[in-house]
Structure formats: structure tokens, C-alpha cells
């Protein structure tokens, strides 16, 4: 058991408070924070978003899970004059798995120094693949961002047990989605590993969609660009 799991239990007072109550309390706490900016939850200019950090995105999209996104940023790419942020969207992941993803990555200095984590796409992707949630890595077009708040690393134990009040947390639904996607996990993984991430976006730029999932994600970005006139 790593330091993150310890902090999740203590910071959320899980010995006295139920997980649903902790989630509700944290969601209200962060919702109020997103309405302003301070050292704990800082309204961050888009150009200052860095990878390896925890953020909350307000985003133009047809899905509430994308509109109100607690995320961990993994990588940035450019294609077709777009800046794409690849991030782990926690809305797709049950609370207990959120902690498991990062428990081995984080040490005390990450919390005390409020620093970004030293992770990369292969490391995060393979970790997510092991637990069945690799599809939670999604693309955000920077042009569709409305607002971005960086979460102080010291608040991450509470942030992981939070969401936006408009998004109902339903672990049963999340497991159902995971099981539904599991049948095609090997095929999806095989397609993704044929190409590097950079090559994937070159494929998108040339419209030569080898992975089916890449085409769906690219189409989503285009659809939302048209819908929100960006």
C-alpha cells in the first residue's frame, strides 16, 4: 500500500465517513472552488497546462462526462492546426481504481512540493490496460476548452473521490461499460500498439483511420467543433 492510499483514507476520513458521503462532500467542495481561483484550485491559462498534472476541465461537448471532466493530463499533440490534450478522464473510472492507478507513482514530495508526476503515455496506457479502463484516455481539443483549474497535488486524495454535481456517480454503470468494452479490448489494444501515438495522429491527419476507435474520436472532435462553432 502506497502513500496515496493512506492519504485517501485519512484525508477523506473514511473510517468515520462512508465513501458515498465523502464523494458528495468533496464534489460540493470542488464545485465551489471551480467558481473562483486560489492556491489549492487555480484557474489556469490553457497555455500553462502541463502534462503529469491533475485538472478539472470545463469543455464544450455533447456529453456531460466530457463537459465536466476531472482529468490527469498525459500528453499533447498537434494536428490539423489543433492542439490536442490527451488526458485520463476520471468520469469513466470507479473510485477505488482511480487510486490504484497512481498509488505506486506518488511519493511524499509530490504532495509537499505540488509537482507534476513523471509519467508518460505508455506507462499510463499499460496501467489502464491492466485494469480494463484504457478507453478512459480521451482527447480534448484545446479550442473547445472553456476553463481549466489545476488541482494542488496535496488535494489529489480528495479530488480522486469527487466529480461534478451534475454527473451522477454510478459505479454499477461504470463496471457495465468496462465489461461491454472488454470483449474488444485485445483487438483495440492490438490496433493501438501497431502505431505510436504520433503516428496515430498522422493517420488522423491523413484520414487513414486504421484503428476504428481513433476514427470515432476524431469524428467526435469534428462534430463538436461544428456544433459549438469553434
Q: How many domains does the chain have?
A: 1
Residue 27 belongs to some domain of the structure: yes
Residue 216 belongs to some domain of the structure: no
Q: Tell me if residue 91 falls in helix, strand or coil.
A: helix
Q: Tell me if residue 156 falls in helix, strand or coil.
A: helix
Residue 213 belongs to some domain of the structure: no
Instruction: Give the lowest-confidence range in 120-134, 156-170, 201-215.
Output: 201-215
Residue 222 belongs to some domain of the structure: no
Sheet holding 68-79, edge to edge: 41-43, 145-151, 54-59, 68-79, 82-89, 137-141
The domain of 118 spans 3-171
| DSSP letter (8 states) at residue 152 | P
Question: Is residue 104 pLDDT above 50, yes or no?
Answer: yes
Split at pLDDT 50, 70, 90, the class of 78 is confident
Residue 129 belongs to some domain of the structure: yes
Residue 230 belongs to some domain of the structure: no
Is the separation of the CB atoms in 27 and 164 below 8 Å? Answer: yes
Question: Is residue 153 pLDDT above 90, yes or no?
Answer: yes
Amino acid at each position: 500500500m502506497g502513500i496515496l492510499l493512506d492519504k485517501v483514507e485519512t484525508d477523506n476520513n473514511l473510517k468515520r465517513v462512508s465513501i458515498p458521503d465523502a464523494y458528495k462532500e468533496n464534489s460540493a467542495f470542488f464545485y465551489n472552488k471551480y467558481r473562483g481561483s486560489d492556491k489549492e484550485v487555480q484557474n489556469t491559462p490553457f497555455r500553462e497546462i502541463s502534462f503529469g498534472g491533475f485538472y478539472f476541465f470545463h469543455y464544450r461537448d455533447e456529453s456531460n462526462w466530457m463537459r465536466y471532466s476531472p482529468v490527469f493530463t498525459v500528453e499533447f499533440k498537434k494536428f490539423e492546426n489543433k492542439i490536442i490534450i490527451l488526458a485520463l478522464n476520471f468520469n469513466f473510472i470507479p473510485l477505488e481504481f482511480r487510486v490504484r492507478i497512481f498509488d505506486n507513482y506518488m511519493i511524499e514530495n509530490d504532495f509537499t512540493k505540488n509537482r507534476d508526476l513523471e509519467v508518460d503515455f505508455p506507462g499510463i496506457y499499460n496501467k489502464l490496460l491492466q485494469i480494463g479502463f484504457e478507453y478512459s484516455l480521451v482527447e480534448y481539443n484545446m479550442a473547445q476548452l472553456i476553463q481549466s483549474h489545476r488541482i494542488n497535488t496535496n488535494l489529489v486524495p480528495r479530488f480522486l473521490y469527487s466529480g461534478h454535481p451534475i454527473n451522477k456517480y454510478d459505479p454499477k454503470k461504470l463496471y457495465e461499460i468496462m465489461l461491454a468494452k472488454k470483449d474488444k479490448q485485445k483487438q483495440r489494444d492490438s490496433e493501438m500498439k501497431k502505431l505510436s501515438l504520433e503516428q496515430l495522429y498522422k493517420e488522423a491527419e491523413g484520414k487513414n483511420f486504421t484503428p476504428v476507435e481513433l476514427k470515432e474520436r476524431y469524428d467526435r472532435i469534428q462534430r463538436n467543433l461544428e456544433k459549438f462553432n469553434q
